[in-house]
Chains A and B, each alone.
Chain A
Amino acid sequence: MKQSFQFSLNSCCAAHSGLNRVMCVSAAAGVCSSSVEKKIYVELNETVPCVRLLNATHQIGCQSSMSGDTGVLHVLESESDLDWILSSGPHPPYIVIMETAFFNRSVMMRMKSSSRVAGVAVIVSKTGLADNFSPHTTCPNQNTGVYSASYGSDLANCNVTVWNPLGNGLSYEDFAFPVFALKDENQTQVIRKCYEDHNLRVNGSTPQYPLCAMQLFSHMHAVTDTVTCMRRTDLQNRFSINPEVLCDPLSDFNVWTSTRPLNSSAKGHAANESVVLAATRLDGRSFFWEQAPAAEGTVSGIVTLLAAIQALSPVTQEAPPPRNIFFTFFQGEAFDYIGSSKMVYDMEKNDFVIDLNNVHSMLEIGQVGLRSGQSLWMHSDPVSRKNDSVNEEVLDLMRRMQSAAAGLNVSLGHPLFTQPLPPSSLQRFLRARPIPGLVLADHQTLFNNRSPYYESMYDDAENLNVTYPPDLNPDEQLVYETDAAKSLAEVATLVARSLYLQAGGEEKSLSNITADPKIVSHVTNTHTRTHSRTHTRTHTHTHSVTHSRSLTHTHTHTHTHTHSLTHAHSLSHTLSHTLSLTHTLTHTHSRTHTHTHLLTHTHSHTHSHTHSHSHTHSHTLTHMLTLGVGVAVLLLSLLVTYFISSKAELLFSSACETPTTAY
């Protein structure tokens, strides 16, 4: 017995020293783990995810798992690749690297319904880009415009004119896997090389482990719809120790100004004010997060209106017209007219400097960047024009625009009387009041000939024909007068003169109203550059000396799924008027639900999103091994415990101890 006892002691010591060694190794591993991670994973930087958005009833966008989605890489280059991924490949799930040409509805919907796709990474490039690509819906904002069952029912739901017929609606689908955009060409090459080295099929043989894999991580917190999400955020704030924010409402600011100053603190009807409203939108969107250059869709309108404001400022000082001209830039129009509906709402509730009775007429600048043959089209609403007085006003406005176009390189046309208004902020005003108004656009009917990349990330400077001679450096490019800018300057002059006439100004002053192509070029070049934000900031400092007003701006909320243009900065060096910002939340949120408006659009919060690729060994092998080792350790420990327990008296009582007797 003694011998066995000592033997067991020795074995304990051995085990103990063994344990120490194990700990040392793991401690060392802990210190060096970051470099080990670097050997396994390659982190990818220039990537943009698609995020989740919610409205009152649905969720759209993409979602990844809480710890990221990992899958074996496969590059999609042909139809047979797609079949491999969806049915015959032996190592699902796959992360699909997609060329631009394959990023269309049919491919994405096939992958959406498959469980073998863990994620998608789209290579963003112009090569292989189709002639048109618009992830927006075919009939933008069809339920929140003016046309409905009770107003122009035959015109509703794009029955007469489909504005974006080539839109594939991808932005409004709900994907259960992450979708990323790869923007850096060098990193894309690295990925391709990894794929070619390890994953490529050679002569029909399937590749074996180890394979190249990728992990996409873009976990979204919000789910179901806005109501659920805001409720859960409330519950978190009230009862949780570490409240997590689940989603933010889409909110930002509208920007407005006027030729005659209005007292911004006075709310409600402004006495003796008859106002001509000049409006345009300020936002754009695309499938991916904050990748919406919106050059033709939005920037053309902004630039035109800014230039018109600048052209009008000297004349409205010297020979002020009887009516006030009220310029406004609406934010969030892509999402059911957030900005314009808020302004109309405020006007109706007497919570704005003017109200709807002050509005005489409205001119909206739509997409005006790509005129073909110098023609622009004046869109109007046929339903309100059935009323004679409104019709007279609209015809007057059109006449004034025609006379303003005299001598300019612009020819104005009017589409068919029966054609409804395109999606525009004017529709929200018409919902409240039959205001005579026009929407100026470069398209007669549908967008796609003029704007083939409507609300997509490809609607960039090149789409607007903003091109520079090749030998200019970036600073020279900023002040270069492109043809696109000259064209927009023409349109701006037209708009300024029309507004002046509409406001009751004299014909004789018209020739003094001209938009300065230099300013137009500068603003266009700034807004169509991808890094326009940082550049405009530095410019504001140099120009603030020459111009009197500085701004109170900027958005405190940047939780917008839009291209946050530094509109206010550029405005500061073209205007000498005070600008005002009105906050636009997506309608008001009321807990007591007495309002008819409810918070509708929100976007999901997320922790940082990352993207990394690695080699991976077979999943089943490692899992089985781990499970097997675990079970073996369990059984071993049970066995050891049993043996020790049954020999307890032997092991734990010394020779001379008198066992206590229990009775």
Chain B
Amino acid sequence: MNLERIPNEEKLGLSRRYYLGGFAFLPFLWLVNVLWFFREAFLKPTYTEQPQIKSYVKKSALGLIVWVAVLTTWITIFQHFRAQWGEVGDYLSFTIPLGTA
């Protein structure tokens, strides 16, 4: 969708929806929010709705960073220690590789 042709209120509405939607454990919505509205929020000349869009983009970025940190940490720990956890590791796994620990 081309943001050029959309009125500013609709842009604000879109950004808000993406921001709120990301709270439903959907960090990719926040990612899209950040990437899509970055130019609108920071690089365009000021217009009325811009400060709010800016705040949504900033908060989405924050949420995104938190998610990335948490997921990276968990994935690293799981991949490293799954074999040592024995039974717990097996119950947490969806697919267990064959032939290696």
Contact = CB atoms under 8 A, between A and B. Distances in A.
Interface of A: 63, 66, 219-224, 228, 231-232, 235-236, 244, 246, 604, 662
Interface string B1-23: 01011100000000000000000
B87 A231 contact: yes
Residue among A63, A223, A246 with the highest chain B CB neighbour number at 10 A: A223
B24 interface: no
Contacts of A63: 99
Contact of B99 (A223, A228, A662): A223
Contacts of A244: 98
Contacts of A231: 87, 90
B101 A223 contact: yes
Contacts of A232: 90, 96
Nearest to A65: B99
A543 to B, nearest CB: 45
B25 interface: no
Interface string B29-42: 00000000000000
B91 interface: yes
A542 to B, nearest CB: 46
Contacts of B5: 662
A244 B99 CA distance: 12
A662 B100 contact: no
Given A662-B4, A662-B5, A66 B90 contact: no
Nearest to B96: A232
B64 to A, nearest CB: 24
27 contacts: A63-B99, A66-B98, A66-B99, A219-B98, A219-B99, A220-B99, A221-B98, A221-B99, A222-B99, A223-B98, A223-B99, A223-B101, A224-B101, A228-B86, A228-B90, A231-B87, A232-B90, A232-B96, A235-B90, A235-B91, A236-B96, A244-B98, A246-B98, A604-B99, A662-B4, A662-B5, A662-B6
Interface residues of B, number: 13
Residue among B2, B98, B100 with the highest chain A CB neighbour number at 10 A: B98
B27 to A, nearest CB: 26
Contacts of B86: 228
A221 B100 CA distance: 8
Interface in B55-101: 86-87, 90-91, 96, 98-101
A26 B48 CA distance: 58
B35 to A, nearest CB: 16
A174 to B, nearest CB: 12
B89 to A, nearest CB: 10
Given A220-B99, A228-B86, 5 more contacts: A66-B98, A231-B90, A232-B96, A244-B98, A662-B2
A129 B91 CA distance: 49
Nearest to A604: B99
A78 B97 CA distance: 39
A224 B90 CA distance: 13
A597 to B, nearest CB: 20
Contacts of B99: 63, 66, 219-223, 604
A232 B97 CA distance: 10
